[in-house]
A and B are shown apart, each in its own frame.
Chain A
Amino acid sequence: MIDAPRCRHGLAGWAPVAAFALAASVASTAFAAPPRSAAGAAAAKAPMPAGIVLDGPYHGRSDVFAFGGHGEVRFGHDRERGIENPEWLSFPRLEAFALARIHRRAQLVVDAAYDRTMDQLILERGLIDVRVAPSWSVHAGVMLPPLGRANREHQSPRAEFSDRSLVASDLVGAPVSMFGIGIHGLRGGAGLPAMTYELDIVNGYDDGVVTEASPGTRIPSGRNSAGDNNGMPALAGRLAIRPHPGSEYGVAAYTGQYNTTEVEGATVDDARYLHMTVLDATTMVSGFRVSGEAGLAIIDIPPALRAIFPEQQWGAAVEVSRGLFRPLIAAWRTSSLSLAIRGDAVDFDRTIPGDSRSRLTAALNIRPSDRAVVRGQWFYEVTRDRFDNDAPAAGVAASGAIYF
């Protein structure tokens, strides 16, 4: 195992980030005044990029202190090539969050979650958010970088499926948290569609992309919100437009060095970069909610590993859902029934036919209220190894998720 990195350059690469943070602090003081115009006030209430702070239901008041959380339990009957998986009970996600307003323009957010994909309790968010102006803010700390919508919006009671798309889980690694600093804001108005933007300077993925990945290059293995392994910040950003209510089209990008170049003073490798682009879209078509996500990642792999560690990966997911009844039960005003179907796939190596996963999922969601869901789900999945041999798996599951 490679030791904890001791990079000769230390945190030199973070100097511009510190300067940016200082400038943002000064700016936040300078702009520390209430919005003076009606337009400014309207902009302040307009939707900002989702998920930076908290957008779930909570107890308390967002202008003082609020807290909340959600959890999910899943009962499943899964089989791989006809052989049953003995694990019939699982807890895909348990999350608790809190928000404290420390100033009229600043708030602290803490969000801890156990997520089954990581199998550990992690700090997903621990940040300070400062509203510099009505339409833009600065945030710093541990954050969920905007690598597609799914990395931000993965609260179980809202989701149509108990698991995330393969683009989110296997390509991006959602939920992926990083630490750093960034800005986010909203533009538009006066007849133009609303546009949200975010740009973050973060620590980025680490060597785990290669060193902790057993089946070949796996970006989720490089998730790291605890430290920086190479002293070089990465950039993540997203631009989205909302042409009309219920629709959003976003493009996200990430670039950064992922590897450690020196161990104990000795150079072990050149700097290697990971670049990723994620497109996402959500819209309504004839009463159906249609959403999709597609991602492409390019990873610079050391030459001596390229034959078995792929350098290009991509994935795509399309989800169609429709609310069938609302209210489902007359006495429960917000109860509903919806049906959703998703097709998703990820190709871990663009250069060969195999090394991929593809899946079809159907779900029936009964929501007694907006705060809870009882879900019936079926999936059929085909995993292909690097020889292109298939391993079909399928399952039915009943799950329940609720805000608490």
Chain B
Amino acid sequence: MANSREMARSCADRATRASVHGDVAPMQPATHRRNTAVSLLLATLLAVAIVTGCDRLLTERPDPGTRFDQPIEGLGNGELGRFQAGQAQFRRGFTIDEGLGPVFNNRSCASCHSADGRGVLENSLVRFSRGLDPITAEGGPQLQDKAIPGADPEVLPPGVDVSRRLPPPVFGVGLIEAITDSCILSHADPTDADGDGISGRPNYVMAESFVPATEPGGGPGPRIGRFSRKAQVPALLQQVIEAYHQDMGITSSFRSTDNVNPLSNKPNPDQARDPEVGGGEVDAVMNYVRMLAPPAPGEWTDRRRQGEALFVAATCATCHVPVMRAGWHDIEALANRDVLLYSDLLLHDLGDGLADNRPDGSADGKEWRTAPLWGMRLVREFLAGDMLLMHDGRARSVEAAINLHGGEAAGAASAFQAMTADERAALIDFVESR
């Protein structure tokens, strides 16, 4: 009985063991007055802060056109939902347990493309081949220098042609996809018929067999390549699938077997069930990049107008075509509009200095697709103040990039070098405002 009473008393007086604020003793009047004053002051400050700066205190939405990861204007609600779902997949970091590897370069799309823009030197990719042979039996066409435990990373075989590639920006690729073949071909001059020293030809390539004819760039027969540094990829689906497979070692229903190091005799330690992503995830990522808007160009100033005129006069705009035209696209916001790309999407010989001596599709070792200049004004912002230009990031400024142009672009580079310092500065200001 005594025990029962004791237990009952203990229960009634429960929860007294822990003193949450044992250090705060009942207050003296002076302390109470001081704390009242402090409380009133804090309450006033809080009220003022809430009234005047709610958005700032809770973060603000960035203005349209100021980032690389914003949706293109004019999307419907359903499309915006798909955009957001795709963004989550784009940012998804794969774990080893989820199938990362066995050999790979990085663990997510977003970990290569800084804020959906270009990458940095540390995560540039190395592509290699022996001439036109992608030497898949030796690990080609891409070096996967990272491996999960139990697998050997690839090492570069001797005597191969090597090309280091900076991850390109992924915004605006839907608009590139929507540009009509006829628009691209209208800028081509493969035999330099006009005698300006600048040719330009499309890279006709075959789409991978998994790309259906219903996809832009898909189906049998040669297609105009639009994506990647040498325009060797005709379809966005192909680009996404190869990035999953080659860059992350993630299998899909389109590429359902693991990408292993063929020169390693170790068993494949990747035990994740294949395919490691489904068609829905692939579709989500593809639609996300499709709907990414290019940043808005900067405001026009007199100096920039002068720079634009100089840009045209130096024949830069012959290849860096300011405006291309999009045709039909099943995403209405991408269709039938001007595209401020500053590229003709054609191959040009840029000379020995930039040559990687490695063919890709019908592109030879000196040819590169004209790099779009859109988004230039934000490159520094999303590369921690750095400016990495050209296919391998070797140029740290627009001026350095122009000076590296050779081959068909040697005339443009010479014209730039012949300008006064003020004119060069105006041209650079114009380019950096795109």
Q: What residues on B are CB-neighbors of A79 within 8 Å?
A: 58-59
- Contact indicator B62/A1 (Cβ below 8 Å): no
Given A79-B59, A210-B96: A55 and B115 interface contact (C-beta under 8 Å): no
A302 at the B interface (CB under 8 A): yes
Q: Which B60-91 residues have a C-beta within 8 angstroms of A?
A: 60-62
Q: Is A64 an interface residue (CB 8 A)?
A: yes
Partner of B35, one of A82, A284, A325, A395: A325
Interface string of A258-274 (1 = CB under 8 A from B): 01000100101100000
CB contact list, A38-66 vs B, under 8 A:
55-62, 64
Do B26 and A326 touch (CB < 8 A)? Answer: yes
Question: Complex: how many Å from CA A343 to CA B42?
Answer: 18
Q: Are B59 and A325 in contact, CB atoms less than 8 angstroms apart?
A: no
Q: List 5 A-B contacts (CB under 8 A).
A: A60-B10, A60-B14, A211-B95, A385-B111, A389-B115
* Interface contacts beyond A304-B147, A308-B106: sample of 5 additional A-B pairs, CB < 8 Å, sorted by A: A2-B271, A56-B18, A269-B150, A307-B146, A394-B59
Q: Does B272 contact A (CB under 8 A)?
A: yes
Q: A115 at interface (Cβ–Cβ under 8 A)? A: no
Question: Number of contacts between A and B (CB, 8 Å)?
Answer: 173
Q: How far is the CA of A397 from the CA of B110 in the complex (A)?
A: 30
B269 touches A387 (CB 8 A): no
Docked-complex contact B58 and A367, CB < 8 angstroms: no
- Cα A55 to Cα B19 with chains together (Å): 10
B315 at the interface (CB under 8 A from A): no
Give A122 Cβ to nearest chain B Cβ, in Å. 19
- In the complex, the 8 A-B pairs of residues with the closest C-beta atoms, listed nearest first: A82-B61, A57-B15, A214-B93, A323-B24, A268-B150, A387-B114, A211-B96, A304-B147
B299 within 8 A of A: no
B122 touches A307 (CB 8 A): yes
Interface string of A365-389 (1 = CB under 8 A from B): 0010011000000101000011111
Assess whether B186 is interfacial by the CB under 8 Å rule.
no
Q: Are B95 and A57 in contact (CB under 8 A)?
A: no
Q: Nearest-CB distance from B270 to chain A (Å)? A: 8
Q: Would you list which residues of chain B between 142 and 163 have a CB under 8 Å from chain A?
A: 145-153
- The CB with the most chain B CB atoms within 10 A, among A221, A246, A324, is that of A324
How many A residues touch B, CB cutoff 8 Å?
A: 72
Contact string against A for B residues 15-30, beta-carbon threshold 8 Å, 1 for contact and 0 otherwise: 1111111111111000
A269–B147 Cα distance when bound, in Å, is 12
Knowing A269-B149, A308-B107, say if A393 contacts B59 (CB, 8 Å): yes
B382 CB within 8 Å of chain A: yes
Q: Does chain B have a CB within 8 A of A215? A: yes
Is the pair B19, A370 in contact by a Cβ cutoff of 8 Å? yes
**A62, A246, A325, A353, most chain B CB atoms within 10 A:** A325
Give the residue among B18, B39, B93, B111 with the most A Cβ atoms within 10 A.
Answer: B18
B interface, how many residues as a size bin? Answer: 35 or more
The one of A259, A289, A395 in contact with B58, judged by C-beta atoms closer than 8 angstroms, is: A395
How close is B375's CB to chain A, nearest CB, in angstroms? Answer: 14
Q: Does A81 contact B (CB under 8 A)?
A: yes
Closest to B276 in A: A1
Q: Which residues of chain A from 245 to 266 have any CB-CB distance to chain B below 8 Å in the complex?
A: 245-246, 259, 263, 266
Shortest Cβ distance from B26 into A: residue: A326
Question: B26 to A214, Cβ gap below 8 A?
Answer: no
Distance from B179 Cβ to chain A, minimum over Cβ atoms (Å): 29
Given known A305-B146, A387-B384, contact A396–B18 (CB-CB < 8 A) = no
CB contacts (< 8 Å) of B27 on chain A: these are: 325-326
> Which residue of A367, A392, A394 contacts B21 across the interface (Cβ within 8 Å)?
A367
Binds B, one of A11-19, A87-95, A331-339: A331-339
Report whether A214 and B146 are in contact in the complex, using a CB–CB cutoff of 8 Å.
no
Question: Does A197 belong to the interface (CB within 8 Å)?
Answer: no
Does any Cβ of B come within 8 Å of A80's Cβ? yes
Who on chain B is nearest to A266 by CB? Answer: B267
Taking the complex as formed, is B6 at the interface, i.e. its CB lies under 8 A from any CB of chain A?
A: yes
CB distance from A275 to the nearest CB of B (A): 19
Closest to A282 in B: B23
Give the contacting residue for A308; candidates B38, B60, B111, B115; CB below 8 A: B111
Let me know if B267 and A158 touch, CB within 8 A.
Answer: no
Which residues of the other chain, B, contact A213 by a CB distance below 8 angstroms? 95
Please name all residues of chain B whose beta carbon is closer than 8 Å to the beta carbon of A385 when the two chains form the complex. 110-111, 114-115
Instruction: Tell me, yes or no, whether A190 is within 8 Å of chain B by CB.
Output: no
Give Cα distance in the complex from A215 to B92, angstroms. 9
Inter-chain contact B21/A326, CB cutoff 8 Å: yes
Q: Knowing A77-B58, A307-B122 touch, does A1 contact B149 (C-beta < 8 A)?
A: no
Asked whether any CB of chain A lies closer than 8 Å to the CB of B352, the reply is no
Does B383 interact with chain A (Cβ within 8 Å)? yes
How far, in angstroms, from A266 to B96 measured CA to CA in the complex? 18
Contact B58 A396 (CB under 8 A): yes
Whether A83 sits at the interface, judged by CB under 8 Å, is yes
Q: How far is the CA of A221 from the CA of B96 in the complex (A)?
A: 12
The reply to whether A387 and B115 contact each other, CB–CB distance below 8 Å, is yes
B64 CB to nearest A CB, Å: 12
- Of A83, A305, A389, which is within 8 A of B61 by CB? A83
